[in-house]
């Protein structure tokens, strides 16, 4: 079994975009420096997603950490929106954002996943 895991890891490493390699602590420190564009999104983010998505121990994919977002990004935006609205394991339904619209969620997901364009 081990070789399969290794082979898959190697394949993923080979296909991964040229994202910088960061340790979890570096990724969390980097996540803390990021702020979404515009006052509305940055307020919503600061009050909700940021609480978990900048802290390694929460198990949340860190903001700006493409490596941990990439497998999730591949699920497609409708699936990501549905886990955001409905919750997923440690991810609470609505992400603790009580005034986020679907457009806000999409923008926040794009921001955290480093797929703003
Ligand atoms: C209380 C902590 C917490 C907050 C607040 C939070 N998240 Fe999460 N989020 C998580 C955790 C933990 C996961 C990983 C869940 C898993 O895959 O088991 C996650 C995963 C996700 C995912 C990936 C879902 C998937 O299908 O793979 C998205 C998208 C997401 N969060 C969006 C958001 C957005 C947007 C906000 C703010 C509006 C937010 N989260 C706020 C903890 C949180």
Place of tokens 């909700």: 48
Sequence-distant (≥ 6) Cβ neighbours of residue 44 within 8 angstroms: 97, 99, 100, 104, 108
Contacts of 42 (CB under 8 A, 6+ apart): 35, 36
50: CB partners within 8 A, 6+ apart: 63
Residues lining ligand 1, judged by CB closer than 6 Å?
48-49, 51-53, 58-61, 72, 75, 79-80, 83-84, 88-92, 95-97, 100, 105, 108-109
Which residue, chain included where needed, has tokens 């340790």?
23
Is pLDDT at 103 greater than 90 in this prediction? yes
Nearest ligand 1 atom to alpha carbon 108 = 35
Give pLDDT tens digits for 55-74: 999 999 999 999 999 999 99
Across residues 82-99, what is the average pLDDT?
A: 97
- pLDDT of 20 reads 72
Please name the residues in contact with 53: beta carbons below 8 A apart, sequence gap of 6 or more: 31, 60, 61, 62, 63, 112
| Nearest-CA residue for atom 36 of ligand 1 | 49
Determine the atom of ligand 1 nearest the C-alpha atom of 88. 15
45 in Cβ contact with 36 (< 8 Å)? yes
The lowest-confidence range among 5-19, 27-41, 80-94 is 5-19
pLDDT of 19: 65
Q: How many angstroms is it from 60 CA to the middle of ligand 1?
A: 6
What's the CA-to-centroid distance between 3 and ligand 1, angstroms?
Answer: 31
How confident is the prediction for the chain on average, in pLDDT? 89
C-alpha–C-alpha distance, residues 103 and 67, integer Å: 24
């Amino acid at each position: 079994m081990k070789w399969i895991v290794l082979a898959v890891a190697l394949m993923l490493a080979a296909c991964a975009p040229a994202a910088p390699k960061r340790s979890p602590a570096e990724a969390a420190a980097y996540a803390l420096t990021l702020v979404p564009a515009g006052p509305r999104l940055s307020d919503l983010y600061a009050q909700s997603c940021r609480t978990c998505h900048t802290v390694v121990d929460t198990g949340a994919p860190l903001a700006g950490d493409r490596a941990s977002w990439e497998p999730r990004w591949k699920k497609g935006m409708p699936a990501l929106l549905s886990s955001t609205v409905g919750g997923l394991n440690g991810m609470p339904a609505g992400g603790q954002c009580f005034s986020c619209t679907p457009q806000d969620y999409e923008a926040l997901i794009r921001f955290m996943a480093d797929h703003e364009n």
